[in-house]
Amino acid sequence: MTNLSVNINKVATIRNARGGNMPDIVKVALDCETYGAQGITVHPRPDERHIRYADVYTLKPLIKTEFNIEGYPCEQFVDLVLKVRPTQVTLVPDAPDAITSNAGWDVQAHFDQLNELTDQFKGYGIRTSLFVGTDPEQIKWAAKTGTDRVELYTEPYASQYTINREEAVKPFVEAAQLAKSLGLGVNGGHDLNLENLAWLSEHIPWLDEVSIGHALICDALYYGLEKTIDLYKQQLNKK
């Protein structure tokens, strides 16, 4: 079964727009778990424009499902992860001023850094995942770092889905097959939604986890959070 990890960054963005604690991200995270989400994802950035570093420390002892912290491995981020010790850390190559993640790692070019980080995190019992595209060579280099999983950057799939869904999913199936053959777990994330999620899930039934934030929170404005989580889980079970 593919786990659904809800990224609550957008909830924090709404909170930060007015100050105070509305909406309460702790309550939202715990409600997501109650409604069936199998994980909670946060992506703290240096400017703390959504999730704050303090939020991560607050959430850690309260999360009962899997806690996934993703982000660029700057010194502050690495220190946070080692102190919090989440279930999983997902390393993403986004610049500090990036609006959102927009590419996977060039693992070969950053091999020494990623290899060292993977060893360090795994030494603390933290499952490690690298955010990558579908280039076979990059997946092969990812396996050499010793990472536990890769997270496939699915924006290209989502962009192509409405044009030709068969062609859209093909490179992701091939990448996921390669990762599996190399002993890697496979996650997916970015621009997945109620329209395109089931097709991806049907074609990669061994997908371990999807991390979804923006679309899910937008859908929750219409359907409510509990119903939305149920709808996303239904898409993941159409195999």
User: What's the pLDDT tens digit per position in 162-177?
Assistant: 999 999 999 999 999 9
Residue 239 pLDDT > 80: no
What residues does 41 pair with on adjacent strands?
Answer: 7, 68
Which residues are catalytic, by number? 43, 70, 190
Section 189-202 average pLDDT: 97
Average pLDDT over the chain, rounded to an integer: 95
User: What tens digit of pLDDT does each residue of 145-157 get?
Assistant: 999 999 999 999 9
Tell me if the bond preceding 205 is cis, omega within 30° of 0: no
Decide: residue 97, CB within 10 A, 0-12 exposed, 13-18 middle, 19+ buried: exposed
| Phi, psi values for residue 109, rounded to 5° | -70, -30
Query: What's the predicted TM-score (pTM) here?
Result: 0.95
CA distance 161 to 136: 21
Q: How many domains does the chain have?
A: 1
How is residue 203 written in tokens? 């074609």
Q: What's the rounded Cα separation, in Å, for the pair 115 and 145?
A: 4
Q: How far is CA 183 from the centre of its chain?
A: 19
| Residue 99 scores a pLDDT above 60 | no
pLDDT confidence of residue 238: 77
CATH classification of the domain holding 207: 3.20.20.70
**Element (H or E) spanning 58, and its range?**
helix 53-59
Q: 144: number of CA atoms within 13 Å, CB side?
A: 13
Q: Per DSSP, what are the bridge partners of residue 67?
A: 40
Instruction: Give residue 41's domain range.
Output: 3-236
The residues facing 127 across adjacent strands are 88
CA quadruple 48, 50, 51, 55: dihedral positive or negative?
positive
pLDDT band at 96 (very low <50, low <70, confident <90, very high): low
Distances (CA, A) of 34 to 29, 31, 51, 76, 118: 9, 5, 21, 31, 31
